[in-house]
Structure 1
Amino acid sequence: DENDFVWLTDEHHGQFMKFTTDGQLLQTIGAKGQRSDTGVPADDFSSSAWKKVTHGGGPFNLPTDIAFAASGEMFMTDGYGNARVHKFSSDAKYLFSWGEPGNGPGQFNLPHGVWIDRRGRVLVADRENDRVQVFDQDGNLLTIWPTELIGPAFFYVDDDDTVYIPEHNGGMISILTLDGERLARWGDGPINRSCHGIWVDSHHDLYVVQPGEWGRVRRVVKYERQ
């Protein structure tokens, strides 16, 4: 975050954990192993559990990502076993949630990544609906980007407001404006299917978490800015 703390999402234990850069645990949000009621069986930790969500629930059920507003308020996507975005105060008090399973406006099928842009909007990667939905910080839907995306997973937005998105189901990387207009796209399709994390360094070089051959661990691939 902006204070140089490292936040990790523990999907299976249903927790968000705050660390110093030398690995000291400072804070944990969420009760370990307690899963909210969403219709997903308690013993289902699979990546396809989202298909069994029958209704939105409270925090958390196999959560996926966290983002911070300028106020310090937190927004968490709860996607693999839920279909909601949760909002917490800057001191980690639960405020409210929004979202239900489905493909209508404001509904989610695996909300996977979240980012707060410079305008204060909440960008949500609605992965299995192949779209990005944009909300205000009260959970009101503002727009849905019209750009074709195949399983958008996460975001990185740089200081120039350029948006980088790994397309999990398409094996592609897209670069877009904050209005969802595509600037570039590349990738090897099925070879890189399941690409997940993405980040950009101070030199504007790009790092993408991509799979190796099936059955092998993922790898981080660096793309240098030309």
Structure 2
Amino acid sequence: MNTFISKKLILISFIFTLCPISAQVQNTGIEKNWGPRHNRATISPSLVHLELSEKQGFKTVMVATRLMAADVPKETNWAVNDIPGGNPTIGIIDENGVYTAPTSIPSPREIHICAEVPEAVNRFLFATVIIGEGEPKYKPIHIWSEKKDDPNARMSGPHGIGLDQEGNILIADRGSSSVLRYSTTGDFIERIDDGSGSKPGEVNEPREVTSDVEGRIFVTDSKGDRPRVQVWNHKGEFQKIFAEKGRWQGMLLRAHGMDFDHLRRLFVVDVDNMAVKVYDKNGTSLFDWGEEGLAKGQFNAPHGLFVDRAGDVFVTGYYGPTQKFSPEGDFITDFGYGDPPDGAVYFHSVSGDKWGNAYLSVRSKGGYDGAMEGLGEGKHLSIMKFNNNGSFITSWAYSAIEHSESEVAITDDGIVYGLFIGPNDVGVETFVQE
């Protein structure tokens, strides 16, 4: 009998070794913790509309956790649009967090209240003030494109957009399997990759492109038998390739959105693994987190990712919502749910600016063909903007009725470059806030 039990236990142990209960949990490399970690802070209110010269108090709070009550931070440094104390043009904020709106309408009307809490793990917090009534609006200032039937066109199915060290536009073109560099006005500069294919330096339907503080260019090359991340230097010289194909820690199946945090760690969202993969700046796997499901903190076809200044990670599911996590994968909040029949239904990507605002590239019920109301007859809803806490700010569409979203990139000055796809052309439209 003892021999039988022993053999049975060995068999069970062997089965669990081959078939772990959750590959994602076994291979995360970190201890999962569904809830706020110690020393997180919040800011309130998240969003207010103020009239000229009106006052509004803001406050920061250290979040309560297990056996620890909420408390006031020892120190909070207040700024307006990253200017300590603000100024008369954009408003003044005192050491107690009381903001006074300017005496004349600023341009843009969207103001960012910035709170630095040195003791918090999320050191930088943001709230939004909109001066005057109504949502802030974005206007187009430039557009350039390539015709699909032009034999000299270089793009055919652009999918991802980023900015290089000098502010030039980088495009991952899935249709032509190429990584391209343009000026902001659409002048072609160069093709970065070494051609279409699966060899190092070659790309096969690349999805996303970004650059780091050294100017190195990172591309998620996610189709075929060799999903991976590839790296070129700023000059376009191939450097390295990392990540193997598979479901274990550090391995990829379909890499999509990616971004760096302030520690220079690279966060990559994997659509098919339903997980976020985290690497150091050299491509060494650090840890994974995430699991498939419909509950808060779980993933349903995650597509887009960006990391804010505090290190928090925003991940957009294709069917919504966008979720905010700590760097270790602890769920914080969510926003941007599907809103049929006239609202957004599909969420292709998320990008961020220096104040942690999230820009969602969205599609309505009809996908590329779904028109939205309230944006001009026949126009598509293309971009939705939320602040760092998930409060809705505004939304807008591309100028041409036939142009639909793909992704956006935002400069430190708040300029938005929107990559679009149309039936006859593809290109980039530039927007600024009025």
Q: Is the 8 A contact 1:174 1:185 kept in 2?
A: yes
Change in 2 beyond 3 A, CA 1:62/1:219 = same
Picking from 418, 423, 434, the partner of 1:208 is: 418
Total equivalences in the alignment: 200
Mapped pair 1:101 → 2:292: yes
Aligned to 1:63: 255
Distance 1:160 1:94, change over 3 A: closer
* 2:280/2:286 contact within 8 Å kept: yes
Quick one: distance in 1 between partners of 2:249 and 2:327?
Answer: 19
Q: Say yes or no: does 1:155 pair with 2:350.
A: yes
Task: Provide the residue aligned with 1:87 in structure 2.
Answer: 278
Cα offset for 1:57? 7.8
Paired residue for 2:264?
A: 72
- The structure 2 residue matched to 1:2, chosen from 213, 226, 232, is 213
* Higher RCO by CA contacts (8 Å cutoff, separation 6 or greater): 2
Partners of 1:147 and 1:182 within 8 A in 2 = no
In 2, distance between residues paired with 1:57 and 1:4?
27
Q: Does the aligned pair in 2 maintain the 1:131–1:151 contact within 8 Å?
A: no
Structure 1 residues 1-226: aligned runs within 5 Å = 1-12=212-223, 13-31=226-244, 34=245, 36-37=246-247, 59-79=251-271, 81-128=272-319, 130-145=320-335, 150-169=345-364, 171-187=381-397, 191-193=402-404, 195-201=405-411, 203-213=413-423, 218-226=426-434
Amino acid at match of 1:11: S
Separation in 2 of the partners of 1:179 and 1:21?
34
CA positional deviation for 1:212: 0.6
- Tell me, yes or no, if the aligned pair for 2:250 and 2:285 is still in contact at 8 Å: no
SS of residue paired to 1:61: coil
Letter in 1 for 2:408: I
Q: 1:161 to 1:107 in 2, by over 3 A?
A: closer
Pair 201,117 (structure 1): closer, same or farther in 2 beyond 3 Å: closer
Q: Indicate if the aligned counterparts of 2:221 and 2:229 stay in contact, CA closer than 8 A.
A: yes
Pairwise CA distance, 1:147: 5.8
Question: Which has the greater radius of gyration?
Answer: 2
Please list every run of 5 or more consecutive structure 1 residues that lacks an aligned counterpart in the other structure. Answer: 38-55
> Relative to 1, partners in 2 of residues 1:28 and 1:112: Cα closer, same or farther, differing over 3 Å?
same
Conserved in 1, the CA contact under 8 Å of 2:258 and 2:269? yes
